[in-house]
Amino acid sequence: MKVLVATEKPFAEVAIRQIREVCEAAGFQISFLENYGNARELIDSVSDADAMIVRSDLVTSEILDAAKKLRIVVRAGAGYDNLDLKACSAHNVVAMNTPGQNSNAVAELVFELVLFQIRGGFTGKTGTELRGKTLGLHAFGNVGKYVADIAKGFGMDNYAYDPFVSERVMKNNGAKQCINVDELYRKCQYVSIHMPSNDITNKSVGYELLKKMPHDAVLINTARKEVINEDGLLKIFEERTDFCYLADVAPDCKAVFEEKYQGRFIFTEKKMGAQTEESNINSGVAAARQIVDFFKSGNEKYRLNK
């Protein structure tokens, strides 16, 4: 069996060593395509792969056409908006993700962004504190739960909105349920977004929601830029000088922010929520193990294209 690890944004060395160990212990060959510049390079590398591990790398029909032997692709991470699931099914390729494995890293990034922002970028400017402030978790999956857990340590007052999660689960994880999304944005000075990007969620956070946020609002988006309606975001920034936006990664309208709203935003250069050694090890090794289990015992847990 040949496993290709195709990561435009490479895993840490320590993770690569462990991914290699898992594959080689199973008798599989492993090769790496890292830091590649375009789909052509992936197309050229995938032709003899039986399995592939990717991160946010696009897996399209074109890639799958070239992957003549491919049986399984595992997205080492949670969000799978980069996988064309219909095309995977059409090519008889099993698609999986590794949910939960990088969630703590993303949750910690939320606070790294927030603390830097509310302490004025560590310039000596007077800042503010988190204790007693309201935090809204927009979606309460793996990342949302970790964020709630960390926020408890800061003494924040946690709320959550998620149509797929019960009040009991929220309560057990330290958050009070909001019955609708309007209530979440109305109640919470800080709102942290943790929903996937899909046809329903894309552009779902716009002006009407944002205008409900209390004074000194801070919107944190470590999910996907696509879930924000950028026209609405710009409108709220134009109207309210007390509004901040912290995001992993920059919106398409980044240039407007740079020109008009210095000091009220932080955008990461490259998506880095999951970019820790621990997270790379967790998700990369999980992906390798899922591939080994799939070939050795037919295990299809975490299959996305049923």
Residues near ligand 3PG, by CB under 6 A: 9, 55-56, 77-79, 102, 271, 273-275
| Residue 80 beta carbon to ligand 3PG: minimum distance, rounded to whole angstroms | 8
* CB-nearer residue toward ligand 3PG: 216 or 226: 226
| Residue 189 beta carbon to ligand 3PG: minimum distance, rounded to whole angstroms | 25
| Residue 33 beta carbon to ligand 3PG: minimum distance, rounded to whole angstroms | 15
Helix axes 13-25, 277-297, angle to 10 degrees: 10
* CB-nearer residue toward ligand 3PG: 30 or 274: 274
Strands 244-247 and 218-221: what pairing? Answer: parallel
Residue nearest to ligand 3PG (CB): 77
| Residue 105 beta carbon to ligand 3PG: minimum distance, rounded to whole angstroms | 8
| Residue 283 beta carbon to ligand 3PG: minimum distance, rounded to whole angstroms | 7
Cα–Cα distance between 78 and 96 in angstroms, integer?
9
* CB-nearer residue toward ligand 3PG: 78 or 218: 78
* CB-nearer residue toward ligand 3PG: 55 or 133: 55
* CB-nearer residue toward ligand 3PG: 156 or 291: 291
Specify whether the CB–CB gap between 157 and 134 falls below 8 A: yes
Cβ neighbour number for residue 241 with a 10 Å cutoff: 8
| Residue 172 beta carbon to ligand 3PG: minimum distance, rounded to whole angstroms | 24
* CB-nearer residue toward ligand 3PG: 97 or 117: 97
